[in-house]
């Protein structure tokens, strides 16, 4: 088991390294310089910039320096925000994004799972179709349309909810700023989760042990909730890992629409302003998270299913 | 001019800004927008045929590049359609990211490019210097020795009237050669809650908040004004800051020799109480007011001189350095060809600063309003290096201090009790938000989470124009297209004029923008009394 | 030799497919969706062809126009007829959706099958590569490539989307092939001395087809959605050409003019809804295991 874990962990690190190399190349290949402005700068000013950021050094030296920084979780100086480090942006940004992401994921489970189970209990009846249609709608509206629509409806027209910014404190009034971003973020995952939940339940309910339970004369309700649910939602649970990562990256749009200074905002601003260190920092944080989640899923499976360890 | 009647506010503000009713179009310009469009289109077709492309036959397929923004797309698509339907010419449009766009434009890798410019000092020279041969802006390959000579001479001309005449002649030459195609002059669109008093539209869109008061219905109980400056400044170090957001922040935290008058953005004494200019226009003597840094040290003339030298040091990476190149030897120092001491600035005594210029510059008082000319506190900078600007370390001389700077979110300002005129500050606290999305910002404004926007989604401007909380007026900027003369047949002046003539500016302004913008057929905005293009 | 093989193939490949189709056509939601999709699809072909308006032509007297007798879906900021633009945009959105998915399915099937057949170290390396790409925030790559390319033609958009969409399918195919390899009927065929190409052709492909079809129907809508996201970032198709993504992201900028976003939005939503429902129906019918 330990060997399996070590192998998986090493593979994760290797993946991260390759991602770092690839992203580094991409940031250097991208057209446009972080220092271009409306006027072509005088060469002496460009030289000053390049010296200041060490961009006059050979590329492998730059990469080596960057890599050394990453080992100490130091992503280097931002070229967009002069005199600031990328960490100053990524750390608070990540804290916000992950909180919003977890909130969105929790909400997606809370709504999606019951919806799926409910639909499976009424397979191929009108209620099933209705529930699944509602769920599928979530995949059909791009979240950059859904967000503004929710703002228009609940913020500007009904004036029920605030339309953006990060909460100032823990008061209920401030926290309500997160409701609309949370719904926008969760919508697409509600759709996926309910579909997975429905399919998982249908799968399980045809299994022999369920028939046995029924044959024992247990009530349909008990069979469904006690025996069915426990195993039926396994596909949903295994979706949880990748979903948290998806929710995080999905927050790029949501953060823009709701003016939340999260990681996604910094990533997009970094990409648009050719802030290589900012891009690298965001990519590595995102990737580490995805890899870590995959690792956890692997470990969980490893415990559950001994055969995986061998393969 | 007929459009004016629908826009009384703009007219009044424009008049206030210029001191006379604004006159948009240069008289006698051949492609005046007032001319009936049919004949302009005929003339365009005639010119194009003369150049060898009757009905656009054989004309190569060019590309218009522009950076991603809603209204750029619309204008490019409109021009594309006008050229297609009037000249039979096919062009493609290409939407690129800002940095890619800049890269392509600067390296001259374009056919036809959307451009736009905001002059940083109210003078035709701010625009006309863009098209000299050595300008970093002029990448379309157009050069004219005669033009460069006129601009050079105007820099040495001390008589304002003669100077304007020279510049006017230069602009005529530029427009006749048509390396660019002016479209319209920018308008500033603000939404401002009615309880904000003491803010005036001005052509630089610079609004020092010292004298702003919040009173009347809906005024926030805590007296905090919330203004969305749309982005986070790139830097808070005056020597490194290179964007408008930086200027908006830093003019409240530091105090330069002069500052913008809130009413008309003209330079008014600030850290300096007065200044004199030598008869040859080359030497400016500034007399400082007594003032203190936020740590209690006195602000001296040497503080200014040291800060300017610091800003010009070859190691200092800042795009805004160029704004100081008018000071004697600044460029040579920045290039490392002269020592820092050679800079044309020196402290005669604690309260007197003498500045020598490379050439007379009547607009120098406007330049010293920019952040690169602000003083910084030497001991603090030397102790903390890059990090001296953090809220807990910064030492500054301006009316406000930054209490908190939340990355990508907001900055919170409070009155600086050590400011030389602290008692006169009417506004005690304000917040600058960094919300980039205009839609989002508008929602925040409509729900009261923000009190003032200086950008509105272009689609909605016409719906906002009737509202009492809408404030607008002309600003010192022009929207135009440039041609790349290295691409045949754009090197033919007849082709360039034909393309320009076929664009119906009134349609763009009235049907697409619909925000009260003035169609323009010249590069400089119509904001200089006594300046004419002829 | 031929007879038993035919028998095996007959039992294993054809009847499950036929039964699946029968199950599928019993699913009323899926069938309605097929009809609806056909209506939208043929409208994108027919409407621009029969309409009087050119998609590039501006009516400068009627910019930002509400729907009326002349312009049934109103006009855009340049006074161009929205109806013809919506349906022409639909053509491009469909094209991007189908072609990009085709690109990713072809790459994914080839990659996954190769990996599974090669096995051993090659398999491990190939799958590790897929893992690496999975860990990479894919939109970043798309954004960078989209800004790297010199032109923004439709071709580039679907190639880029297609080139990064094959990861999931390669995993599915590899998994299927691996499990099929161990199954009795393949063992039996091998024992009978059937060659590898024949096994692939007669047994593998028919059995992989189900999951691939299901995946494809579900991939198309997600590609179309990705296209709209790219358009939102300003990296989509360029003027005067348009797509649903472009129209929607423009419309989203002015929700007050309801017709800007409603028509293209509804068209996209209906299409995505139908494709998803059909995909679900196919999945139920083919009884494909959930990932």
- pLDDT, residue B502, reads 95
Out of B24-33, B490-499, C115-124, the most confident range is B490-499
- Whether chain A has a CB inside 8 Å of the CB on B441: the answer is yes
Give me A63's structure tokens: 């990469």
pLDDT at B357 over 80: yes
Q: B504-532, pLDDT tens digit by residue?
A: 999 999 988 888 899 999 999 999 999 99
Kindly report the nearest CA distance between residue A277 and chain B, in angstroms: 15
Kindly report the nearest CA distance between residue C271 and chain B, in angstroms: 26
Average pLDDT over chain B, rounded to an integer: 89
Distance from CA of residue C44 to its chain's centroid?
17
The answer to whether the CB atoms of C255 and A271 lie below 8 A apart is no
Average pLDDT, integer, range B228-245: 92
pLDDT at C246 over 80: yes
Alpha helix segments (H runs only) across A2-121: 2-29, 43-52, 59-71, 87-121
Cα B121 to Cα B138: distance, rounded to the nearest angstrom: 19
| pLDDT-derived band at B259, boundaries 50, 70, 90 | very high
In three-state secondary structure terms, B232 is coil
* A&C contacts, CB < 8 Å: 112
Are B470 and B191 within 8 A, CB to CB?
Answer: yes
pLDDT at B257 over 90: yes
Are B266 and B255 within 8 A, CB to CB?
Answer: no
pLDDT at C3 over 60: no
Give me C189's structure tokens: 């065929």
Question: What residues in B contact A48, CB-CB < 8 Å?
Answer: 314-318, 334
Choice between C147 and B113, residue whose per-residue pLDDT is larger:
B113
Cα C261 to Cα C283: distance, rounded to the nearest angstrom: 32
- pLDDT, residue C67, reads 87
Choice between C255 and C158, residue whose per-residue pLDDT is larger:
C255
- pLDDT, residue B50, reads 94
Are A248 and A98 within 8 A, CB to CB?
Answer: yes
- pLDDT, residue B414, reads 96
Closest by CA to A257, choosing from A190, A168, A158, A187, is A187
Are B314 and B364 within 8 A, CB to CB?
Answer: no
For C288, name the nearest residue in chain A, comparing CA atoms only: A199
A36, A42, A44 member nearest B99 (Cβ): A36
Are B125 and B166 within 8 A, CB to CB?
Answer: no
- pLDDT, residue C7, reads 41
Cα B76 to Cα B66: distance, rounded to the nearest angstrom: 8
Q: Identify the DSSP state of B195.
A: T
Q: B5-55, pLDDT tens digit by residue?
A: 333 333 333 333 333 333 333 333 444 444 556 688 999 999 999 999 999
- pLDDT, residue C53, reads 80
Neighbours of chain C (3+ CB pairs under 8 A): A, B
Q: Which of A98-102, A199-203, B220-224, B393-397 has the lowest mean pLDDT?
A: A199-203
Q: What is the CA radius of gyration of chain A?
A: 24
Give me C152's structure tokens: 């923004």
C29, C144, C251 member nearest A26 (Cβ): C144
Closest by CA to A93, choosing from A263, A233, A224, is A263
Q: A136-162, pLDDT tens digit by residue?
A: 888 888 888 888 889 989 988 898 999
Closest by CA to C175, choosing from C113, C219, C101, C121, is C113
pLDDT at C137 over 70: no
- Whether chain A has a CB inside 8 Å of the CB on B197: the answer is no
Give me B381's structure tokens: 């900078």
Are B123 and B528 within 8 A, CB to CB?
Answer: yes
Residues 38-57 of C with CB under 8 A from B: 56-57
C29, C137, C252 member nearest A145 (Cβ): C252
Cα C181 to Cα C185: distance, rounded to the nearest angstrom: 9
- pLDDT, residue A91, reads 92
| pLDDT-derived band at C13, boundaries 50, 70, 90 | very low
The answer to whether the CB atoms of A23 and C140 lie below 8 A apart is yes
The answer to whether the CB atoms of B73 and C60 lie below 8 A apart is no
| pLDDT-derived band at B224, boundaries 50, 70, 90 | very high
ipTM: 0.86
pTM over 0.95: no
- Whether chain C has a CB inside 8 Å of the CB on B455: the answer is no
Question: What residues in A contact B106, CB-CB < 8 Å?
Answer: 36, 39-40
Choice between B76 and A201, residue whose per-residue pLDDT is larger:
B76
The answer to whether the CB atoms of A144 and C252 lie below 8 A apart is yes
| Interface residue of B64, B459, B467 to substitute, partner C, most C CBs within 10 Å | B459
In three-state secondary structure terms, B447 is coil
The answer to whether the CB atoms of C255 and A132 lie below 8 A apart is no
- pLDDT, residue B462, reads 85
Q: C50-103, pLDDT tens digit by residue?
A: 887 888 788 888 888 888 888 888 888 888 888 889 999 898 888 888 888 988
Average pLDDT, integer, range C152-165: 72
| pLDDT-derived band at A126, boundaries 50, 70, 90 | confident
Q: What helix, strand, coil percent values describe chain B, rounded to 5?
A: 35, 20, 45
| pLDDT-derived band at C147, boundaries 50, 70, 90 | low
In three-state secondary structure terms, B291 is coil
| Interface residue of A29, A30, A34, A38 to substitute, partner B, most B CBs within 10 Å | A38
Strand partners, B284: B277, B355
pLDDT at B500 over 70: yes
Out of B410-414, B457-461, B530-534, the most confident range is B410-414
Question: What residues in B contact C60, CB-CB < 8 Å?
Answer: 504, 507, 511
Choice between B367 and C149, residue whose per-residue pLDDT is larger:
B367
How large is the angle between the packed helices A87-121 and A263-272, nearest 10 degrees? 120
Q: Which of A97-101, A103-107, B498-502, C204-208 has the lowest mean pLDDT?
A: C204-208
Average pLDDT, integer, range B344-356: 96
- pLDDT, residue B144, reads 94
Kindly report the nearest CA distance between residue A169 and chain C, in angstroms: 31
Cα B52 to Cα B50: distance, rounded to the nearest angstrom: 5
Phi/psi region, residue C64 (left: phi>0; alpha: psi -120 to 50; beta: rest), is: left
Q: What is the CA radius of gyration of chain B?
A: 24
Q: C191-210, pLDDT tens digit by residue?
A: 777 777 777 777 777 777 77
Q: B143-158, pLDDT tens digit by residue?
A: 999 999 999 999 999 9
Question: What residues in B contact A34, CB-CB < 8 Å?
Answer: 99
| pLDDT-derived band at B297, boundaries 50, 70, 90 | very high
Choice between A287 and B220, residue whose per-residue pLDDT is larger:
B220
Average pLDDT, integer, range B118-135: 92
A38, A48, A93 member nearest B137 (Cβ): A38
Average pLDDT, integer, range B88-111: 87
Question: What residues in B contact A42, CB-CB < 8 Å?
Answer: 136, 321-322, 331, 334-335
The answer to whether the CB atoms of A31 and C147 lie below 8 A apart is yes
- pLDDT, residue A310, reads 47
- pLDDT, residue C65, reads 84
- Whether chain A has a CB inside 8 Å of the CB on B446: the answer is yes
Average pLDDT, integer, range A159-176: 88
Choice between A53 and A300, residue whose per-residue pLDDT is larger:
A53
Q: Which of A124-133, A210-219, B174-183 has the lowest mean pLDDT?
A: A210-219
Cα B476 to Cα B127: distance, rounded to the nearest angstrom: 10
- Transcribe A69-93 into DSSP letters: HHHTT---B-SSSTT-BTHHHHHHH
Cα A251 to Cα B177: distance, rounded to the nearest angstrom: 50
The answer to whether the CB atoms of C147 and A279 lie below 8 A apart is no
pLDDT at B111 over 80: yes
- pLDDT, residue B12, reads 35
- pLDDT, residue B360, reads 93
Average pLDDT, integer, range A241-245: 70
pLDDT at B382 over 50: yes
Choice between B25 and B436, residue whose per-residue pLDDT is larger:
B436
| Interface residue of C253, C255, C260 to substitute, partner B, most B CBs within 10 Å | C253
Kindly report the nearest CA distance between residue A52 and chain C, in angstroms: 25
The answer to whether the CB atoms of C221 and A141 lie below 8 A apart is no
For B99, name the nearest residue in chain A, comparing CA atoms only: A32
Sign of CA dihedral B283, B288, B292, B298: positive
- pLDDT, residue C138, reads 66
The answer to whether the CB atoms of A30 and C272 lie below 8 A apart is no
The answer to whether the CB atoms of C140 and A253 lie below 8 A apart is no
Are B478 and B219 within 8 A, CB to CB?
Answer: no
In three-state secondary structure terms, B24 is coil
- pLDDT, residue B318, reads 83
- pLDDT, residue B211, reads 92
| pLDDT-derived band at C9, boundaries 50, 70, 90 | very low
Kindly report the nearest CA distance between residue B510 and chain C, in angstroms: 9
- pLDDT, residue B174, reads 96
Question: What residues in C contact A148, CB-CB < 8 Å?
Answer: 252, 255
Average pLDDT, integer, range C235-254: 81
| Interface residue of A34, A48, A177, A278 to substitute, partner B, most B CBs within 10 Å | A48
Average pLDDT over chain C, rounded to an integer: 78
Question: What residues in A contact B103, CB-CB < 8 Å?
Answer: 31-33, 36
pLDDT at B451 over 90: yes
Question: What residues in C contact A137, CB-CB < 8 Å?
Answer: 269, 273
Cα B421 to Cα B464: distance, rounded to the nearest angstrom: 37
C-alpha distance from residue A116 to each of A191, B403, B511, B533 (Å)? 9, 50, 50, 73
- pLDDT, residue B71, reads 85
Hunting for tokens 């590898």 — which residue is that? C196
Phi/psi region, residue B126 (left: phi>0; alpha: psi -120 to 50; beta: rest), is: alpha
How many other C-beta atoms can be found within 10 angstroms of the C-beta atom of residue B239?
25
Give me B458's structure tokens: 């272009």
The answer to whether the CB atoms of A19 and C134 lie below 8 A apart is no
| pLDDT-derived band at A129, boundaries 50, 70, 90 | confident
Average pLDDT, integer, range B451-479: 91
Q: What helix, strand, coil percent values describe chain A, rounded to 5?
A: 75, 0, 25
Q: What percent of chain C has pLDDT over 70?
A: 85
Average pLDDT, integer, range C242-266: 86
Kindly report the nearest CA distance between residue A283 and chain B, in angstroms: 18
In three-state secondary structure terms, B234 is coil
């Amino acid at each position: 088991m330990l060997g399996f874990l070590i192998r998986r962990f090493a593979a994760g690190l290797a993946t991260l390294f390759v991602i770092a190399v690839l992203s580094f190349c991409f940031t250097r290949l991208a057209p446009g310089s972080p220092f271009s402005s409306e006027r072509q700068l005088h060469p002496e000013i460009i030289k000053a910039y390049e010296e200041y950021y060490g961009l006059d050094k050979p590329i492998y030296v730059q990469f080596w320096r960057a890599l050394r920084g990453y080992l100490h979780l130091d992503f280097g100086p931002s070229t967009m925000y002069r005199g600031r480090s990328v960490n100053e942006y990524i750390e608070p940004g990540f804290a916000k994004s992950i909180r919003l992401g977890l909130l969105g994921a929790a909400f997606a489970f809370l709504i999606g799972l019951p919806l799926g189970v409910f639909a499976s209990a009424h397979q191929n009846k009108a209620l099933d179709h209705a529930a699944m249609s509602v769920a599928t709608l979530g995949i059909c509206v791009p979240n950059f349309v859904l967000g503004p629509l929710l703002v228009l409806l609940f913020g500007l027209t009904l004036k029920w909810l605030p339309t953006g910014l990060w909460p100032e404190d823990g008061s209920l009034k401030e926290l309500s700023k997160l409701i609309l971003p949370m719904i926008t973020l969760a919508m697409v995952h509600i759709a996926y989760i309910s579909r997975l939940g429905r399919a998982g339940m249908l799968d399980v309910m045809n299994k022999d042990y369920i028939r046995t339970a029924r044959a024992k004369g247990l009530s349909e309700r008990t069979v469904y909730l006690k025996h069915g649910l426990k195993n039926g939602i396994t596909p949903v649970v295994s979706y949880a890992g990748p979903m948290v990562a998806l929710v995080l990256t999905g927050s790029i749009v949501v953060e823009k629409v709701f003016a939340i200074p999260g990681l996604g905002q910094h990533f997009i601003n970094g990409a648009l302003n050719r802030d290589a260190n900012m891009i690298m920092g965001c990519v590595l944080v995102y990737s580490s998270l995805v890899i870590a989640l995959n690792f956890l899923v692997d470990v969980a499976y490893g415990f559950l299913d001994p055969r995986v360890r061998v393969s | 001019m007929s459009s004016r009647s629908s826009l009384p506010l703009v007219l009044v503000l424009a008049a206030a800004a210029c001191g006379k009713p604004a006159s948009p179009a240069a008289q006698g310009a051949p492609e005046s927008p007032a001319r009936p469009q049919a004949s302009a289109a005929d003339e365009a077709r005639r010119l194009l045929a003369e150049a060898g492309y009757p009905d656009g036959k054989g004309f190569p397929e060019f590309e218009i590049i522009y950076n991603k923004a809603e209204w750029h797309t619309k204008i490019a698509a409109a021009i594309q359609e006008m050229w297609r339907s009037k000249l039979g010419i096919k062009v493609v449009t290409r939407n690129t990211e800002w940095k890619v766009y800049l890269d392509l434009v600067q390296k001259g890798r374009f056919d036809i490019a959307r451009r736009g410019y905001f002059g940083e000092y109210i003078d035709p020279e701010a625009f006309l210097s863009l098209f000299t041969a050595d300008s970093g802006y002029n990448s379309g390959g157009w050069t004219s020795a005669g033009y460069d000579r006129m601009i050079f001479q105007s820099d040495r001309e001390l008589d304002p009237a003669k100077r304007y005449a020279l510049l006017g002649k230069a602009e005529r030459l530029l427009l006749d050669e048509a390396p660019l195609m002016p479209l319209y002059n920018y308008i500033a669109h603000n939404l401002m809650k009615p309880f904000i008093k003491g803010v005036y539209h001005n052509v630089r869109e610079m609004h020092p908040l010292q004298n702003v008061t919040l009173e009347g219905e809906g005024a926030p109980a805590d007296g905090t004004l919330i203004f969305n400056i749309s982005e986070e400044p790139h830097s808070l170090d005056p020597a490194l800051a290179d964007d408008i957001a930086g200027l908006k922040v830093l003019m409240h935290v530091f105090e330069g020799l002069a500052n913008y008058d809130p009413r008309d953005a003209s330079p008014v004494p600030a850290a300096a109480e007065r200044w004199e200019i030598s008869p040859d226009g080359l030497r400016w003597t500034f007399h400082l007011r007594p003032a203190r840094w936020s740590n209690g040290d006195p602000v001296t003339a040497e503080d200014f001189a040291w800060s300017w030298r610091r800003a010009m040091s070859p190691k200092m990476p800042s795009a805004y350095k160029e704004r100081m190149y008018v000071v004697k030897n600044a460029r040579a120092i920045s290039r490392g060809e002269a020592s820092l001491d050679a800079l044309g600035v020196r402290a005669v005594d604690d309260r007197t600063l003498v500045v020598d210029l490379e050439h007379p510059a009547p607009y120098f008082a406007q330049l010293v309003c920019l952040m690169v000319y602000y003083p910084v506190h030497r001991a603090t900078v030397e102790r903390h290096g890059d990090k001296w600007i953090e809220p807990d370390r910064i030492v500054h001389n301006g009316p406000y201090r930054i209490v908190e700077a939340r990355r990508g979110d907001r900055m919170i300002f409070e009155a600086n009790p050590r400011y030389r005129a602290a008692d006169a500050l009417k506004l005690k606290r304000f917040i600058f938000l960094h919300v980039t999305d205009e839609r989002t910002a508008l929602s925040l404004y409509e729900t009261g989470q923000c009190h003032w926007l200086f950008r509105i989604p272009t689609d909605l401007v016409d719906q906002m124009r009737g509202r009492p909380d809408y404030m607008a007026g002309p600003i010192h900027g022009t929207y135009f297209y440039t041609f790349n003369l290295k691409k045949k047949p754009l090197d033919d002046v007849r082709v360039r004029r034909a393309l320009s003539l076929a664009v119906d500016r009134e349609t763009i302004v009235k049907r697409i923008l619909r925000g009260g913008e003035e169609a323009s057929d010249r590069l400089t905005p119509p904001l200089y009394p006594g300046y004419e293009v002829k | 030799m031929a007879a038993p093989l035919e028998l095996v193939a007959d039992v294993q490949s054809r009847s499950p497919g036929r039964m699946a189709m029968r199950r599928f056509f019993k699913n009323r939601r899926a069938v309605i969706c097929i009809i609806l999709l056909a209506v939208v699809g043929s409208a994108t072909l027919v409407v621009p062809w029969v309409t009087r308006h050119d998609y590039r032509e501006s009516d400068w007297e009627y910019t930002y126009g509400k729907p009326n007798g002349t312009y049934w879906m109103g006009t855009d900021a340049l006074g161009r007829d929205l109806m013809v633009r919506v349906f022409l945009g639909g053509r491009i959105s469909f094209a991007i959706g189908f072609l990009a998915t085709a690109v990713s399915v072809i790459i994914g099937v080839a990659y996954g099958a190769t990996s599974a057949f090669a096995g051993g170290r090659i398999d491990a390396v190939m799958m590790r590569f897929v893992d690496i790409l999975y860990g990479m925030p894919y939109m970043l790559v798309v954004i960078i490539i989209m800004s790297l390319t010199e032109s923004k033609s439709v071709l580039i958009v679907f190639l880029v989307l297609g080139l990064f969409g094959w990861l999931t399918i390669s995993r599915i195919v590899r998994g299927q092939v691996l499990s099929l390899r161990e199954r009795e009927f393949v063992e039996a065929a091998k024992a009978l001395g059937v060659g590898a190409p024949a096994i692939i052709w007669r047994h593998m492909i028919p059995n992989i087809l189900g999951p691939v079809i299901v995946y494809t129907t579900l991939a198309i809508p997600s590609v179309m959605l990705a296209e709209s996201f790219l358009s939102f970032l300003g990296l989509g198709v360029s003027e005067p050409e348009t797509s649903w993504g472009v129209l929607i992201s423009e419309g989203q900028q002015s929700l007050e003019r309801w017709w800007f976003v409603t028509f293209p939005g509804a068209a996209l939503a209906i299409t995505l809804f139908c494709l998803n429902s059909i995909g679900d129906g196919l999945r139920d019918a083919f009884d494909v295991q959930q990932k």
